[in-house]
Chain A
Amino acid sequence: MPSWLQSRFLPVLVGLLLLVVAPSAQAAGEDAAVRDVVQQVYADDYPANLKGAQKKLQDALSSCMKKGCSGPVKAEVQIALGMVASQLGNAEDAKQYFKSALASDPGAKIPDGKATPAIKTQFAEVSGKSDDKGGGAATAPEEGGLAATITHIKEALKADQDGRLDDCIIADKKALALDDSPRTRLHLASCEARSGKLVEGLKDAQIALEVGIQKSDASVMKIARNRVQELIKRIPHVTFEPPIGVKDLRVTFDDRSVPVEALTKKFSVDPGKHRVKAEGTVNGFTSQFEEELDIKDREAAPGQADPIIVKITLKPPANDFITPGQIKCMLTAKSQEEVQKCLPQNQKNLVVRVAGDFSAYSDTNAVGVYTPAINASLVSPTGGWNVGGNFALDAVSAASPDIVSSASPPFTEYRYAGGVTGGYKPGLVGAQGSVSSSSSPDYVSYTAGLRLLAELNDKLITPTLGYSYSYDRVGRGPNNWINDFIPSKGYIHTHEFEAGVTFIISPTAIALIGGTFAMERGDGSQPYRYIPTFDELNVAPFVPVGATVDLVNRTRLPIKPLEQLPTERDRIAVGARFNKRLQNATLRMEQRFYFDTWGMKASSTDTRYMVDLSRHLRVWPHGRLHVQSDTKFYSRAYTAALGGDGTFVVPLYRTGDRELSPLFTLTAGGGARLGIGELEGDIKFGITFVGDVMYTRFLNALYVTTRTAVYGSVGFDVEF
């Protein structure tokens, strides 16, 4: 006798054969009822209510399985289920149903008038495979019918004997697809349990028990009940203890998401290694949790807790904002509350910042400026408002060639500049206003502006719109105060519109794109700037670039008109700024393009590379290149000619401002900021040093061809 007959699975096989072959006395009566259900589904539910149709057909098929139906009736139900599955987009399920239908009744067909092209294709694929194989005693497992079922059962038994439990599971599932027998399901449950899939095994054992109860099959009931009880005792359970107050908590168990509302429920899991991951925001910091669990079979590890409680404690990773002390504190924390106490509380109600700096400038044109300045701000992060103020004093001494060439004495004067700002941003929209003023003996300027901003698309995009108005008054200096200015000239009204958008491009990069459009109206000609003129034919063409004061005075015409600029100027500038955070450094790059109605075009490129050498010290190099063309009315050597009436005719527009001439400027320098004291303390101090060297080459100017300037600042700031 073959060994497999002697195995303990012989009763199962015999039972399976008897169950499959024995005709059911109830099949005939059940046929009519099931057929009615199928017709009713076609009439009422298909295809409008596919879910409802699927439920009714599945119940009808279960009824067929339990009470017994003839093959053709079973095939009708399976055809209908296949059509529903196809309409729901489940092509593979549809084909499986069609295959089962053909196994139940090789003559099964799709009802006329109810098939979509997809249904016809899927049925044809399945029926085509059946046709290819022809009839006869085929032993291929893919063919339907009794023979195939028995073949799969034999395969499962063989695999089980050989210890190939995964193959046993696959073969048993194929057999169940053809004929849902409780004995096959019990064997499947056995293979699953022995391969460690206790949860699946329990599910199949419970289904087998239900079927056994319905069919009043005592043998099945007994085996299934024992199997269920055995597996219940072995299956371990897991539950989670989530942290309190983390609103964006996300938890995965073996890479499958666990709904937050289900975290405290008890889950059945298979024994083995499992991985729990969690992430959420704690005190504004992204924090994570990860733990590997090695869960044992409860019978093999009676000391193991059940359920196993996974306490999720989120901890932020180390980064610039977390000190080693905070990391150590968090690693030893035993609860989420202890972790939160380790982190800085970065949501103050009020932040005050006061800063002062002293700056100095000196260049080869004998201009020197010394500027002490102070600024202060009050910010409420929770309230969304801010106010601030600033004040600076420029002490300027100038003895530039422009001054000397016009025989004006060198002067020293003071410029006072100050401003206040205020803003409010309660939610995603905010406004920032400012007023400022600058006053020196021969120039006063007043400016007021308003900027609006909005945070869109989850703050990924922040557009801004702004407008400002400036009123400048130009007097005659250096020793005359503005009381002495000429009412008909010497004023400039400026309306400036700005727009910009900030984009968050990636977790480490942002970009700002923007532009300004300014309309200047008024006469900004400097009342003390005289323009030398030259003979048009004999002198002007020969005046060299950088002609000295002496040469100019010797060769110019006697007439020396005052500077006269056009009274309208529209200025357009567009720019982009890109900030990229690298490991411990930030690269900041900026590009601006400019043009105006005076004909000037310019390009400015600026870059800084700011490196955090430590949490206290940051250093950066700085570079800038500015290139510009001249205005259309600029000339190195203006000409004048005698008119018919004996007076000199001079150009309508004329200027001695070298900043309206073609030039390029290279700036190189750097800076450093030192944080003093405890960076996470209540009061934070810092000192900043910056210095730059600026080299300018004037390509078409009198007196000066180059200018080299050195300037720098030392600043001190405190925040509390």
Chain B
Amino acid sequence: MRTPLKLVGLLAAALFLGACTKVAPYERGMLAHPTMTPEEISIGLDGHVRAFSEGAAGGLGGGGGGCGCN
């Protein structure tokens, strides 16, 4: 259990250090592309299927109730 946390911590540190690079507002045009949104972009049943077929839940963005689907 510690190893995954360490990996995520290292990943977070690496990304955070990378974020120290200053990106000026006029350089952020590419980030506005619809596929670059940090939010989940699955449509249809994708999220619902994962919710009832996987025992795990949560992570990036939670806040969903159950459905008793399994």
Bound: A386/B65 CA distance, A: 22
Of all chain B residues, which has the CB nearest A582? Answer: B30
A397 shortest CB reach to chain B, Å: 13
CB-CB under 8 A for A574 and B45, given A321-B29, A438-B65, A445-B65? no
Whether A618 is near chain B, meaning CB under 8 Å from some CB there, is yes
What A residues does B49 contact at CB under 8 A?
361, 692, 694, 709, 711
Within 8 A of A (CB), among B13-64: 15-16, 18-19, 21-23, 25-33, 35-38, 41-46, 48-50, 52-64
Expressed in whole angstroms, the Cα–Cα distance for A665 and B56 within the complex equals 12
Measured between beta carbons, the chain B residues less than 8 angstroms from A671 are 43
Asked whether A513 and B26 contact (CB < 8 A) given A440-B68, A506-B18, the answer is no
**Does A512 lie at the interface of the complex (its beta carbon under 8 Å from any beta carbon of B)?**
yes
Contact B30 A581 (CB under 8 A): yes
Measured CB to CB, the closest approach of chain B to A391, in angstroms, equals: 14
- Complex Cα–Cα for A418 and B38 (A): 24
Of the residues B27, B56, B67, contact of A628 by C-beta under 8 Å: B56
Check A581–B33 contact: CB distance below 8 A: yes
Q: What are the residues of chain B within 8 A of A504 when measuring CB–CB? A: 19, 23, 28, 31
Known A-B contacts A518-B57, A575-B60, A694-B53; A713 and B43 likewise in contact (beta carbons under 8 Å): yes
Contact between A571 and B38, CB atoms less than 8 A apart: no
Q: How far is the CA of A369 from the CA of B21 in the complex (A)?
A: 47
* A443 neighbours in B (Cβ, 8 Å): 66-68
Partner among B8, B26, B41 whose Cβ is within 8 Å of the Cβ of A248: B26
One digit per residue, 1 when the CB lies within 8 angstroms of any chain B CB and 0 when it does not, for chain A 319-340 equals 1110000000000000000000
A626 touches B56 (CB 8 A): yes
Task: Give chain A nearest CB distance to B27 CB in angstroms.
Answer: 4
CB of A574 to closest CB in B, whole Å: 5
Q: Which residue of A lies closest to B3 (CB)?
A: A593
A417 touches B38 (CB 8 A): no
Is A579 an interface position by the 8 A CB rule? yes
Does A436 lie at the interface of the complex (its beta carbon under 8 Å from any beta carbon of B)?
Answer: yes
Give B59 Cβ to nearest chain A Cβ, in Å: 4
| Stretch with Cβ within 8 A of B (4 or more), from A70-78, A160-168, A234-242, A278-286 | A278-286
CB-nearest residue of chain B relative to A671?
B43
Nearest-Cβ distance from residue A516 to partner chain B, whole angstroms: 3
* CB-contacts of A502-518 with B (<8 A): 502-508, 510-518
Question: Are A659 and B54 closer than 8 Å at their CB atoms?
Answer: yes
The interface residues of chain A lying within 8 Å CB-to-CB of B56 are: 571, 573, 592, 594, 600, 602, 604, 626, 628
B23 touches A506 (CB 8 A): yes
Whether A513 pairs with B65 at a CB distance below 8 angstroms is no
> Knowing A507-B28, A610-B35 touch, does A500 contact B60 (C-beta < 8 A)?
yes
**Contact pick for A577, options B25, B42, B44, B60, CB 8 Å:** B60
Q: Nearest Cβ in chain B — how far from A675, in angstroms?
A: 10
A576 on the interface (CB 8 Å rule)? Answer: yes
The residue of chain A having its C-beta at the shortest distance from the C-beta of B37 within the complex is: A579
Instruction: Please indicate the chain B residues that have their CB under 8 angstroms from the CB of A438 in the complex.
Output: 65-67
User: Measuring CB to CB, which residues of chain B are less than 8 angstroms from any residue of chain A?
Assistant: 1, 4-5, 7-8, 11-12, 15-16, 18-19, 21-23, 25-33, 35-38, 41-46, 48-50, 52-70
Known interface pairs A437-B65, A507-B27, A709-B53; 12 further A-B residue pairs with C-beta atoms within 8 A, sorted by A's residue number: A371-B44, A443-B68, A447-B64, A451-B63, A503-B18, A504-B19, A507-B23, A514-B59, A518-B58, A518-B62, A709-B49, A711-B44
For the complex of A and B, list the 7 residue pairs with the smallest distance between their C-beta atoms, beginning with the closest.
A713-B44, A443-B68, A445-B65, A516-B58, A575-B59, A573-B58, A594-B56
